[in-house]
Amino acid sequence: MEAVRRVSPRKTPTDGAATRCTVTVCRGCCCGTAKVPGVDHAAQLAALKAALAPVAQVRAVNCLDACEHANVVVVQPSAAGRAEGGRPVWLGLVNDPDATGDIVTWVRAGGPGLAEPPDILGLYVFSPSRRVRRTVEE
Contacting residues toward ligand FES, per CB under 6 A: 26, 28-31, 63-67, 70, 72
> Which CB atom, from 2 or from 116, has the smaller least distance to ligand FES?
2
Shortest distance (Å) from residue 103 CB to ligand FES = 16
Shortest distance (Å) from residue 61 CB to ligand FES = 8
Give the residue closest to ligand FES by C-beta. 28
> Which CB atom, from 39 or from 72, has the smaller least distance to ligand FES?
72
> Which CB atom, from 52 or from 64, has the smaller least distance to ligand FES?
64
What is the phi-psi region of residue 15: left when phi exceeds 0, alpha when psi lies from -120 to 50, beta otherwise? left
Pairing type for strands 56-61 and 73-76 reads: unpaired
Shortest distance (Å) from residue 38 CB to ligand FES = 17
> Which CB atom, from 35 or from 85, has the smaller least distance to ligand FES?
35
State the Cα–Cα distance between residues 125 and 75, nearest whole angstrom.
10
Cα–Cα separations (whole angstroms), residue 78 to 3, 17, 49, 63: 24, 8, 17, 23
Instruction: Say if residue 62 is preceded by a cis peptide, omega within 30 of 0.
Output: no
